[in-house]
Structure 1
Amino acid sequence: MADSTSSSCSDSSSSSNKSSSSSLRDLTQSALQLVLWKEPKKSALAFGSSLLVLVSVATLSVISVVSYLLLTGLCVTITFRVYKSVIQAVQKSDEGHPFRSLLERDISVSLESARLLTDQSLIHLNWFNSQARRLLLVEDLVDSLKLAAVMWMMTYVGAIFNGVTILILADLTFFTTPLIYQKKKAQIDRYIELIKSRVEEMLQKLKDRLPGAVRRTKAG
């Protein structure tokens, strides 16, 4: 009896984990479809909305932007609610609350979904900690020099742009790069391969000039 109960609990737990994993996978797939412009109308709406919010944050305070967004949403929902109430009163219909289906929808975060997100976050956090320790403690001199070069470049980027401007540029890049790549795929791939070969050649020359004691050592 106990075995059947434990097996049913494990089955329900595994099924809930599968459903949580599938929902997370569906969310990731939906985000990719937006960025890749699989559905142009939804992508244009997401691109325009995100760009508008970021530009608003750049010109106004975050509190003002959030307040204006909530106020706009409330104006739309209140106006629609009053409109439907007037229509129902005139037509003497009994359709009920216009947002009833949305109000009755379950939007709570399940324990399995929270646990799955926590597990994924821990995986990425552990990977980040491992990489940070490896690079900062110079386990590999070449990789640490790469990080130093990137950080040196970022000091110039930070002197020119602030955080919100970088987010705006990232938003523009995410939504425009796939379209440009689809149209110029052959030329872009050729240039990428050329740049990659040049970088690998420079890194190989750098490794050859390093003393033997600081070259990359591979675990046996």
Structure 2
Amino acid sequence: MEDSSSPNHSSSSPMELCQAALQLVCWREPRKSLAAFVSSLTVLVAMATLSVISVVSYLLLACLCVTITFRSQLDRDISVSPESAQQLAERCRNRLNWLSVQTRRLLLVEDLVDSLKMAAIMWLMTYVGALFNGVTILILADVVFFTAPPIYQKKKTQIDRQLVLLRSKLEKVLLRLQDRLPGAVRRSKAE
């Protein structure tokens, strides 16, 4: 049995993967970010124009053409350590428990105002779904994912100021809405 602390062991923790993704979208290393952005956008546009089977086949074929030159990497250990698997399973369990509690709270109308907010968002999403298909939304999300962080870093003060104004207007609208609801469903001041 191989020691998991050996130098050949190369499992990445979920936190390291999140840090690497954050480095990509914040363009800390522009070449890597550009490569990730162009490749993800290419895959999404290909999926919008070709069948999924064709896209997957072309990707695997391209991957095989590139990786055939790296046969020396066959000796490298890429197994997942028990500690990493247990840590990932624990985080997934915690997130699933939180999601189930929130889903129950919203769907069984524990708080009428929050359930009404969810209903309004879902109603708006029906219009988004009518305008765009899933791949188009993924393409737009990919572009926003890679362009929003650098724009925010450059225009942070202006964006923060606008967000504060938007939040205050939204809170005023929500307060007016809550005042119009019957007394039994209003939130208490203690919350």
Give the shorter-chain TM-score range: 0.7 to 0.9
- Report how far residue 74 of structure 1 moved: 2.3
Q: Which residue of 2 aligns with 1:59?
A: 49
- Report how far residue 77 of structure 1 moved: 4.0
Residues 219/133 of structure 1: CA separation in 2 closer, same or farther (3 Å cut): farther
Which letter maps to 2:114?
D
CA RMSD, 1 decimal: 2.6
Whether the aligned pair in 1 keeps the contact of 2:46 and 2:55 (CA below 8 Å) is yes
Deviations 1:62-118 (A, max 9, x none): 11111111112223344xx4xxxxxxxxxxxxxxxx632x21111112222222212
- TM-score with structure 1 length normalisation? 0.77
Instruction: Give the unaligned 5+ runs of structure 2.
Output: none
Q: Per residue, is there more helix in 1 or in 2? A: 1
The runs of at least 4 aligned residues of structure 1 exceeding 3 Å deviation read: 19-22, 217-220
- Report how far residue 61 of structure 1 moved: 1.4
Q: Which residue of 1 aligns with 2:20?
A: 30
Larger Rg: 1
Q: Which residue of 2 aligns with 1:204?
A: 175
Deviations 1:108-154 (A, max 9, x none): 12222222212111111111111111111111111111101100110
1:111 paired residue among 82, 101, 123? 82
Q: How many residues align?
A: 186
Task: Please say which of residues 207-216 and 193-202 is displaced more in the overlay.
Answer: 207-216
- TM-score with structure 2 length normalisation? 0.88
1:9-28 to structure 2, matched below 5 A, reads 23-28=13-18
Q: Which residue of 1 aligns with 2:147?
A: 176
Which letter maps to 1:115?
Q
Instruction: Give the unaligned 5+ runs of structure 1.
Output: 1-11, 82-97
Which letter maps to 1:187?
Q
Q: Which residue of 1 aligns with 2:122?
A: 151
- Report how far residue 37 of structure 1 moved: 0.5
Residues 110/219 of structure 1: CA separation in 2 closer, same or farther (3 Å cut): farther
Indicate whether 1:72 and 2:62 are aligned: yes
Residues 73/27 of structure 1: CA separation in 2 closer, same or farther (3 Å cut): same
Whether the aligned pair in 2 keeps the contact of 1:20 and 1:113 (CA below 8 Å) is no
- Report how far residue 163 of structure 1 moved: 1.0
Instruction: Give, in whole Å, the separation in 1 of the partners of 2:82 and 2:134.
Output: 34
